[in-house]
Amino acid sequence: PASKRRRAPPSSQRASARNFSASGEPASRSCVRHQTGATRGTDVTRFEIRPRALDLAALRRLEEPSVTLCLSADAREAIRRSHRVLSKAIADGRPIYGVTTGSGPLSDRIIAPRLQGEMQRRLVLSNAVGFGPPLSATVTRRIMILKLATFAAGASGVTEALADRLLALLNADCLPVIP
């Protein structure tokens, strides 16, 4: 349950900041905590997600919600480029699995442009249920970070705004319950 999730200690109780990126290099100074008001010079550890640079060791360093995540300029450009490619393919009427076509056994069916948004909404809703004990906050956070790293690789077609929303949720330690 959300009430049992650990929260970051006040900045006065945290260790001093260490800025690092997935490659172990210093993170850019443009990395700031989203939606919380913390700014450069505070006592927050920052981690910059770069395209195709997140490994297991780095992922393990991100278990604590006191780490502020951000996307590198390269990751942001990869996300924008990927979205432009997807948008052009949609505008050109190309069949794209799960976007302009159905999925699974309906993958050979073209979805009318006026229904594509509704299909995406229904796809999300159909995957938004489950049962069983909830995953730990650590595992849930790792899943969300891996999703963000996938976006940063530049092959998803998502908008930069979606990546920023996911960053804001992670940086606020607002995690879904995943059964």
Cβ neighbours of residue 111 closer than 8 Å, sequence gap 6 or more: 100, 101, 102, 119
Residues recorded for the chain = 179
Catalytic residue status for 129: no
CA angle 80, 52, 117 (to 5 degrees): 40
User: How many Cβ atoms sit within 10 Å of the Cβ of residue 176?
Assistant: 12
- Give phi and psi for 176, each to the nearest 5: -75, 160
Catalytic choice (97, 110, 122, 172): 97
What are the structure tokens assigned to 143, written together?
């899943």
- Residues identified as active-site: 97
